[in-house]
A and B are shown apart, each in its own frame.
Chain A
Amino acid sequence: TQLLEQSPQFLSIQEGENLTVYCNSSSVFSSLQWYRQEPGEGPVLLVTVVTGGEVKKLKRLTFQFGDARKDSSLHITAAQPGDTGLYLCAGDVSGSRLTFGEGTQLTVNP
Chain B
Amino acid sequence: EAQVTQNPRYLITVTGKKLTVTCSQNMNHEYMSWYRQDPGLGLRQIYYSMNVEVTDKGDVPEGYKVSRKEKRNFPLILESPSPNQTSLYFCASRPTARSYNEQFFGPGTRLTVL
Chain A residues near B (Cβ < 8 Å): 2, 4, 9, 30-31, 33, 40-45, 48, 50, 88, 90, 92, 95-103
Q: Which residues of A contact B59 (CB under 8 A)?
A: 99
A28 shortest CB reach to chain B, Å: 14
Which partner residue on chain A sits nearest B50 by CB separation?
A96
Among the stretches B12-20, B37-45, B72-80, the one at the interface with A is: B37-45
Residues from chain B with a CB closer than 8 A to the CB of A31 are 99-100
Question: Are A42 and B106 closer than 8 Å at their CB atoms?
Answer: yes
Identify 29 residue pairs between A and B in the complex whose beta-carbon atoms are under 8 Å apart, listed by A's number.
Answer: A2-B42, A30-B99, A30-B100, A33-B99, A40-B107, A40-B108, A42-B4, A43-B90, A45-B103, A45-B104, A48-B102, A88-B42, A90-B43, A95-B97, A95-B98, A96-B50, A96-B97, A96-B98, A97-B45, A97-B48, A97-B99, A98-B45, A98-B99, A100-B35, A100-B42, A100-B43, A102-B40, A102-B41, A102-B42
Smallest CB–CB gap between A89 and chain B, Å?
9
| B42:A103 contact, CB within 8 angstroms | yes
- A-B CB contacts (within 8 Å), total count: 61
Q: Which residues in chain B, 93-114, are within 8 Å of chain A measured between CB atoms?
A: 97-100, 102-108
Cβ A50 vs Cβ B90 within 8 A: no
**B interface residues, Cβ below 8 angstroms from A:** 4, 31, 35, 40-45, 48, 50, 58-59, 90, 92, 97-100, 102-108
Q: Which residues of B contact A101 (CB under 8 A)?
A: 42
Query: With contacts A42-B105, A42-B106 known, is A88 near B99, CB below 8 A?
Result: no
Q: How far in angstroms is the closest Cβ of chain A from B101?
A: 8
Chain A residues with CB below 8 A from B99, complex form: 30-31, 33, 92, 95-98
